[in-house]
Structure 1
Amino acid sequence: MTETATATGYARLESLMARGSSFFGSRYAILGGAMTWVSERNLVAAISNAGGFGVLASGAMQPERLREEIQATRALTGKPFGVNLITLHPQLLEMVQVCLDESVTHIVLAGGLPPGDAIERAKNGGAKVVCFAPALALAKKLVRSGVDALVIEGSEAGGHIGPVSLTVLAQEILPHITEVPVFVAGGIGRGEAIASYLEMGAAGVQLGTRFVCASESIAHPNFKKAFIRASARDAVASVQLDPRFPVIPVRALRNQGVEEFMQTQRRIIERVDRGELDLAAGQLEIEHYWAGALRRAVVDGDVETGSLMAGQSVGMVKAEQPVAEIMQELIDQAAGFLSARVVGEVA
């Protein structure tokens, strides 16, 4: 391939990423997926320092704990980064205020339809608001409510997932939402895919699984080894046993913990049937299973009974690498894909 074609590929990639890069204030329109226990100060700072946009996963943190993590992240990077807040958090507005007090530029609201007062407080405080849209109708509603950008995440992703693949969501949503930048997520592990979605109209991409085995990730070595050994078909979605308990499916690597989750559901359903728990309390217990199981895997290294939340792109994770190296691989692959297009057009 000629130097001209190669240079054209990088220039084309920069052009396609321009809207997303400008929105985040980053070199690349590559957003780090917020993964509880994984996306903490070290990984987030490394992603931002490598030209992407790191996002802290606040999970079940309390406001002051979040403040500490934001300040610790800022000590590691002078680049912009964001914070992911769970919409069901009982202190959501306080968490938003902490972000504003700490001059966080972008707040990502995840885990359900964001309350209007949370969006309003964030925007009035000067932050950009990013929300997840699992369907076109909801995407339009969120745009009307004033959100500044959207993420559409396919069922190929890790953790809590929706029912529709990214290949379908991108076709449904990208042609119709142009008022705000739309970032795509779910199953993305190589630069060629990034380039393809950019050409479809995405402003950028979000990657989580690809960064789990970064050198800067604090995930336990056992957790990383499980990712490196896994293939795409090992990342399976959990099954809902009873329609009375609309449990959001979780994609994770198949292990004993997946089977234990099924048993947990059965035990809780039996307790509800006996009148020991009401439906709401039963569902909350089912959801609490994942929080503890994920910590056991990521922090303690229990890869047998812990939750190995992973997207189907896990099969493309082959080794532990520095974030900067991962980022450069993705950019080179994307630019190479676009360069080949140029050569093909000339031929």
Structure 2
Amino acid sequence: MTTYPKTEALMRRGTEFLGCEAAILCGAMSWVSERNLVSAISNAGGFGVIACGAMTPDLLDAEIAATKALTDRPFGVNLITMHPDLFDLIAVCEKHAVTHVVLAGGIPPKGSVEAIKGGANPAKVICFAPTLALAKKLLRSGADALVIEGMEAGGHIGPVSTSVLAQEMLPELSQEHVVFVAGGIGRGQAIAGYLEMGAAGVQLGTRFACASESIAHPDFKKAFFRASARDAIASVQVDPRLPVIPVRALKNRGTEEFTVKQREIAGTLDRGEIAMAEAQLQVEHYWAGALRRAVIDGDVENGSLMAGQSVGMVKSEEPVADIIAQLMNECEEALTRRKA
């Protein structure tokens, strides 16, 4: 097996935390980060993460079982904090002794972190931190590790770039805590820079979306191969009362339809037909359906083509093992040049 001594030394805290060989997590992409891609990433030495998204507890139960049948290596499960069945989903993860649970989509509700860490099969908790203040609060509340993700990422995004977040947060947090960097990472040279700044590892989504093991429709993958960085745009918030987290995706008819959908949901809020929590949940269900149309059905015009700005670096279908080896090689070469 190829070794990457400089990279492995800087990733050691991350690999020990995750239980894998390369501290490269796969971002949880609904309909894409399922049993096939997740197991392939873990089998290749990285760390796969199942995207639970809008799954019911029964569906997640089946997905975890199917993933375990394909790999005996550690993998994680990403849960959306606003999911109405969050605690049932946590119980499913505990049942299967999932080693790491990633909480995304907002501040974890009361008792959720304790439920993950305190069961019969306690798991480590990874949270997303868009600001330094929230990062410190999450760590005080029991998060075992953080992902700081910049606005270059695909899917739900914050307002600040990865490079700025890394400069602000890594010097403050990385000496005492495990911190992964995400957003806009497409090559190993960028990984080298974040590792040198103190990151324990990185998370990539877009780079893996078109892997050979990804079940995404061929037309979905072709849309990625054709795209450039500027084609991955952030959604626009229509109504300030509806705190919709922006989503980055390739521009198509579906991005325009989301603007219309927001107006519809805002109208139901105006008429008092639904509460704010339900309005936000409707937005999440919209994205789940739009993603399925693109990823599974191949409707690249009306579905959601969630992609980060690194999409311009995705040019062909490659096996997961080759992607991870390429990233590690690029990182090692960059670190070697810098040491020299």
Paired residue for 2:30? 36
Check if 1:253 corresponds to 2:250. yes
Q: Which letter does structure 1 place at the counterpart of 2:172? A: H
Equivalent in 47, 50, 55 of residue 56 of structure 1:
50
* Moved >2 Å (runs of 4+): 263-273, 275-289
| TM-superposition CA deviations, 1:26-66 (whole Å, max 9, x none) | 00000111111000000000000111000001111111211
Mapping of residues 130-169 of structure 1, within 5 Å? 130-169=126-165
1:174-189, aligned counterparts within 5 Å? 174-177=170-173, 178-189=175-186
Contact 1:116 1:145 in 2 (8 A): no
Q: 1:67 aligns with which of 61, 65, 85?
A: 61
CA distance in 2, matches of 1:145, 1:225: 42
Q: 1:21 and 2:15 equivalent? A: yes
Asked if structure 1 preserves the Cα contact closer than 8 Å seen for 2:82 and 2:281, the reply is no
What is the CA deviation profile of residues 3-36 of structure 1, one whole-angstrom value per residue up to 9, with x for unaligned ones? xxxx9x9311110000000000100000111111
Select between 98-107 and 286-295 the one with higher mean Cα deviation. Answer: 286-295
CA shift, 1:118, in A, is 1.1
> What is the CA-CA distance between 1:265 and the residue it aligns to?
2.4
Percent sequence identity over aligned pairs: 67
- Pairing 1:1-347 to 2, within 5 Å after superposition: 10-125=4-119, 126-177=122-173, 178-270=175-267, 272-273=269-270, 275=271, 277-278=273-274, 280=276, 281-343=278-340
C-alpha distance in 1 between matches for 2:274 and 2:250: 31
Q: CA RMSD in A?
A: 1.6
Distance 1:244 1:105 in 2: 38
Query: The residue matched to 2:287 in structure 1 has which SS?
Result: helix
Gaps of 5+ in 1: 1-6
Following the alignment from structure 1 to structure 2, what is the Cα–Cα distance between the partners of residues 251 and 269? Answer: 21
Which string of whole-angstrom CA distances, capped at 9 and with x for unpartnered residues, describes residues 248-306 of structure 1?
Answer: 10000001111111222234444554x27446254443443222111100110000010
In structure 2, what residue type is equivalent to 1:321? E
Question: Separation in 2 of the partners of 1:124 and 1:282?
Answer: 32
CA distance in 1, matches of 2:64, 2:192: 31
What per-residue deviation string (whole Å, max 9, x for no partner) do you get for residues 309-341 of structure 1? 000010010100000010111011001111111
Query: What secondary structure sits across from 2:17 in the alignment?
Result: helix
Residue identity matched to 1:179:
E
- Superposition TM-score, scaled by structure 1 size: 0.93
Larger Rg: 1
- The verdict on how the C-alpha distance between 1:92 and 1:282 changes in structure 2, with shifts beyond 3 A counting, is closer
Q: Point out where structure 2 has 5 or more consecutive residues left out of the alignment.
A: none
Residues of 2 paired with 1:268 and 1:57: CA distance?
A: 25
Between the aligned partners of 2:142 and 2:284, the Cα distance in structure 1 is 30
